[in-house]
Copies of this chain bind each other. A is one copy, B any other.
Amino acid sequence: MSPLDQLIEALRVLPGVGPKSAQRMAYHLLQRDRQGAARLGASIVTAMEKLKHCQRCNSFTEADVCERCLNAQRDPALLCVVEMPADLAMMEQTHTYKGLYYVLMGRISPLDGVGPRELQLEKLIDRASDGVVNEVILATNFTNEGEATAHYVGAVLQARGIKVSRIARGVPVGGELEHTDIGTIAQALVERRSL
């Protein structure tokens, strides 16, 4: 395979990119933005080499434990569980929450072959059982998958005697955190209810 065909083929690993878009992207990079392309190639290589999962919050970080988890200003008794780092970023933007996080890096979704096992919930259970965490706040999406995840995770943690709450259903039903306005997320955080 020529480097061009290899590039077109390789671009298809990106979500939502089919053969035609991969071709268009390859020509665009080669013809219009070689500098940007070189930067992209290097960034991907660097990111894959350097980024790993934080031992405490499971998000992406270069260190063993990320800066947020090491921040002494935050309340270690509160642990907020979100699906993805993008959700964490939205929570942070509300400036309403000063506890710590755990990022599931996904959601229970049987159709995509993601069950409780794939989410490696033992890591979350260990994290929540450190003796310092006093309450786990479930902030997964209000989609079907997010709700199922919240139910399952909530039940597992409660079975271990951990106090669990769910952010309020102020977030529109069927909506995703990433696409919700910050005010609504703040409201849902304040109105969280005990399970």
| Residue ranges of A at the interface with B (Cβ–Cβ < 8 Å) | 2-4, 6-7, 9-11, 13-16, 20-21, 23-31, 33-34, 36-48, 50-51, 60, 62, 84-86, 105-106, 178
B178 lies within 8 A of A43 (CB): no
The quantity of this chain's copies bound in the complex is 2
Identify A43's interface contact among B6, B16, B38, B106, CB under 8 A. B6
B42 lies within 8 A of A45 (CB): yes
A14 lies within 8 A of B28 (CB): yes
A15 lies within 8 A of B44 (CB): no
Known: A10-B39, A28-B15, A29-B13. A48 touches B34 (CB 8 A): yes
A47 lies within 8 A of B30 (CB): yes
B86 lies within 8 A of A44 (CB): no
The complex places the Cα of A60 from the Cα of B28 at a distance, in Å, of 12
